[in-house]
Amino acid sequence: MTRVVAALALLISAVQIGDPMAQISREYVRLVLAMGDHDKDYVDAYYGPEDVKTEAAKAKLSLDDIGKSVTSVAGRLSGAPAAGGDELSRLRHQYLQKQLAAMSARVRMLKGERLSFDEESKALYDAVAPTYPDSHFQAVLDRLEKRFPGTGPLVTRFDTWRRDFVIPREKLDTVFKAAIDACRAQTLKHVKLPANESFTVEYVTGKSWSGYNWYQGNFRSLIQVNTDLPIYIDRAIDLACHEGYPGHHVYNALLEQHLVKDRGWLEFTVYPLFTPQSLIAEGTANFGIEVAFPGQERVNFEKNTLFPLAGLDPARAAEYYEVQGLMEALSYAGNEAARRYLDGKIDAAAATAWLERYALMPRERAAQRVRFFDQYRSYVINYNYGKDLVRRFIESRGGTAQQPEKRWQEFTQLLSSPRLPSGLR
């Protein structure tokens, strides 16, 4: 606690003596919080000073007010030197520029401006995901046809096979906790985490997502798992790594440690969801799964620990992950459905049908996904394209699968810095 107080005292004195970056940072936080009144999903986390929140609430800014203030802060920022001169300070300056530009785009969207899917993802997430023709996915489906021969829709054959791998509801918590412990242990071998970091798990229903990490500050998170639809065995490690270790929980804790507590950079106490930061958050959370549990290591752990805990046949773990490997090649199918749907080329029913056919999602899961498109729109690219961008960046710095130590090191550094998508290229 003393470190927080010290960092905040430092910050307040910086504001008082007129450090332009500290003033800009505080103004940025206030504007992000103000956006929360117009967009309920906008403020994903806030653990900064209470008075900034009170100030934002009292001001009752309209979207027009926010838009004007964002432009004015961005102008001041471009004239402000990136104090410090080190790499982190330069990244911080670029980070604020991109985050403000994304806020400005979100204000325009909330006021009714229509952007195409790609324009929107460029404006909000600083990236445009590649486009694939149907034939790209059909080639993968042809391979899956051979794996699941028979009549009727492929999605039905696939779904029938997959039923043997559902985690029974009453075993979910045990399996999930074992997965979290394992992901945490893998992460702790390579990453120094704040001593008091922790989180709580809750099971919820009626959501458009399958899992969510709500970061609460002081190195704590609340992780929610949605149990609306069957949860397959791969989701245990995927969710535990993605939401927890070394994913969102670790990312937020490292930003809090290195940027908020060590440097007093207030802007990192708030996390605006529809901004470039989300591509880094989702991309690292997804790439982190294979950093923590590369290939065979994962299959062995599943076979020896998670399959038995879930009451599933351990002899079938390799078979399950072989099919998962084939399915991975369909990961961009969701983006195509979202792009066509949000660009108005297909309606919700057609998007659902497209996902059933090309992403092999059973009807209910496909319908849940379309609800996700409605709520989060082009955010979908952050998961798969984000993962690919993060992987390429880390590999380009020598963090390849063959150099696991270096990979962890580069990965941890990325999690501790304000780097944004265009900075990954």
Name the residue nearer to Zn ion (CB basis): 238 or 256. Answer: 238
Sign of the Cα torsion 296, 186, 178, 389 reads: negative
Please state the closest distance from residue 208 (CB atom) to Zn ion, in A.
13
Helix (H) or strand (E) holding 287: helix 277-292
Please state the closest distance from residue 189 (CB atom) to Zn ion, in A.
23
Which residues are CB-neighbours of 199 under 8 A, at least 6 positions away? 213, 220, 221, 222, 223, 244, 249
- The alpha-carbon radius of gyration of the chain (Å, integer) is 22
Q: What is the DSSP string of 141-187?
A: HHHHHHHS-SSS-HHHHHHHHHGGGBPPGGGHHHHHHHHHHHHHHHH
Q: What is the DSSP string of 181-194?
A: HHHHHHHHTT----
Name the residue nearer to Zn ion (CB basis): 116 or 375. Answer: 375
Please state the closest distance from residue 309 (CB atom) to Zn ion, in A.
24
Name the residue nearer to Zn ion (CB basis): 99 or 382. Answer: 382
CA nearest neighbour of 334 among 314, 311, 357:
357
Residue numbers 249-288 binding Zn ion by CB under 5 A: 282, 285
Please state the closest distance from residue 211 (CB atom) to Zn ion, in A.
7
Name the residue nearer to Zn ion (CB basis): 224 or 416. Answer: 224
Please state the closest distance from residue 249 (CB atom) to Zn ion, in A.
11
Size of the site for Zn ion (CB under 5 A): 2
**Distance of alpha carbon 43 from alpha carbon 284, whole angstroms:** 20
Q: How far is CA 100 from CA 59, 70, 78, 124, in A?
A: 19, 6, 11, 10
Name the residue nearer to Zn ion (CB basis): 209 or 321. Answer: 209
Please state the closest distance from residue 278 (CB atom) to Zn ion, in A.
8
Name the residue nearer to Zn ion (CB basis): 56 or 280. Answer: 280
**Which residues form the interface with Zn ion (CB under 5 A)?**
282, 285
